[in-house]
Amino acid sequence: MKKYTSLKSVFYSDKSSDKVIYTDFLNNRLNNELIVYSGLKMSPFNSKKEIRDVNTLFEIFFLPTVQISILKDKIYKNSSVITYYMSQLPEVASDQLFYNTLVLELQSTNDIEGIRSSRQEIGEAINNVITKSQKSNMRFEGLVNQYINIKKGNFNEIKSVKEFRTIWDELVGEEEKDEIPDGNLFRRHPEYVMDGSKIVHAGDISEEQITQNLTKLVYEMNNHDIPALERCFIAHYYYEYIHPFYDGNGRTGRYIACSYLARKLDIMTAVSFSSAISLHKKRYYKPFMDMSKTFNHGDATNFIIRMLEILEEGQTILLKRIQTGFKLLNDAEKRVSKLKSLNDEEKSVIFILYQKHIFGTYAPELTDNDLKEILHLSTYKIRNITNNLKKLGYIDLIKEKPKVHYLSQELSKDIPTLH
């Protein structure tokens, strides 16, 4: 399959003094009858002078190439397969896999920004949100809460500029108290992205410009004349181009993309986006840099292709994890069936704990009270079951308040956890 020719490659291969080959190629591209304009305008970044060329404006556009179509076909097919697999998992396994994936996602979105966070720390924050614990000031609780809202179907369908600030406040506001915007909604002063001592990106210069461009972005995000995934990634670029806050732009930008992808695809694909980016940081950041070059002229086609590739690769990794999980779960089910001394209710408890063991390495704890609700048994019944299973050496009590049991080493040793 012929790949899309970047304007960058044509520009640098044109050795003529007046760049006539590049100019002709650019004009042909801009006059292509299939060109799709976004309505969003950008000023290129001069990397030598380390400033935006504010006297130049390009409208962001893309061409609907065969490469984009094939990638989208793969992504939509993968999404259907993921949705099917998730529907076939037992409820506990499905929930544990989601939360485990979410832990990896949130650690990745932090890691991309150079913010240190452990999986255990994020898992505890998830547990705190789910159980509505009274523990206060836990790191990343706002981040967790927003992503869990997506699971609940509470998507951020952005209809006004104010919603960008609301998302920032709820997502990272608690973590970034020293970086609270000093304008009405956004930052008042210039903000730059640095690579060492070098400026590699300049955000919008003022709150007025930020507000104007975010207003245009809201319109683009809700413009159904542009296909959904292309619209998502153009919006992702433009949000980072505007850079409305002093800090937290990357995390809020990826969250907004995640919320959008969850509506258009499936939630597991959506909450694997940052994890996929984390594996390909250079491939993620390079298209942002190329988009900002003067010679690129606002062409977002290759940017869209790269984002689709990262998304599709993330799905492939996720599918392998799910398929491995099914195999492990099948092995666990066979093992439970061989525990002849147990009654059906005791086997059900063991099988649920296997689901936790396989799919929930970093997910929130599964308490005895959870077991009671899942199996519709009384507290008395669960207590008797867990006491008997402990006597038999099948489970261990690892926490007293609230009571939490794990499979014993004897049962779990030959069935690995899913990482």
Question: Is 139 annotated among the ligand-binding residues?
Answer: no
Question: Is 254 annotated among the ligand-binding residues?
Answer: yes
CB atoms within 10 A of CB 155: 14
Q: Which residue has the tokens 């130049």?
A: 56
Q: Which residue has the tokens 């779960």?
A: 329
d(CA 183, CA 180): 9
Query: For residues 416 and 328, is the Cβ–Cβ distance under 8 A?
Result: yes
d(CA 119, CA 142): 16
245, two tokens = 């806050």
Question: Is 248 annotated among the ligand-binding residues?
Answer: yes
Partners of 37 in the β-ladder: 61
Name every residue whose Cβ is closer than 8 Å to that of residue 275 and which is 6 or more positions away in sequence. 101, 104, 105, 108, 314, 317
Question: Is 335 annotated among the ligand-binding residues?
Answer: no
Question: Is 301 annotated among the ligand-binding residues?
Answer: no
Q: Which element (helix H / strand E) includes 16?
A: none
Closest alpha carbon to 360 in 94, 15, 84, 54: 94
Q: Which residue has the tokens 């999404």?
A: 79
198, two tokens = 């070098």
Greatest CA separation found in the chain?
Answer: 86
d(CA 281, CA 274): 10
Question: Is 109 annotated among the ligand-binding residues?
Answer: no
321, two tokens = 């994890």
Instruction: Tell me whether residue 236 is one of the annotated catalytic residues.
Output: no
Question: Is 154 annotated among the ligand-binding residues?
Answer: no
| Cα-based torsion angle of the residue sequence 273, 278, 284, 285 in order, rounded to the nearest 10 degrees | 130
Distance in angstroms between the alpha carbons of the first and the last residue of the chain: 35
d(CA 291, CA 298): 6
Query: Catalytic residue among 201, 243, 357, 405, which?
Result: 243
d(CA 419, CA 417): 6
Question: Is 360 annotated among the ligand-binding residues?
Answer: no
Name every residue whose Cβ is closer than 8 Å to that of residue 63 and which is 6 or more positions away in sequence. 4, 29, 32, 34, 35, 36, 301
Cis peptide before 402 (omega within 30 of 0): yes
Question: Is 222 annotated among the ligand-binding residues?
Answer: no
Name every residue whose Cβ is closer than 8 Å to that of residue 274 and which is 6 or more positions away in sequence. 105, 106, 108, 109, 112, 254, 258
d(CA 258, CA 151): 11
Binding-site entries: 247-254, 296
Which residue numbers are catalytic? 243
Q: Which residues are annotated as a binding site for ATP?
A: 247-254, 296
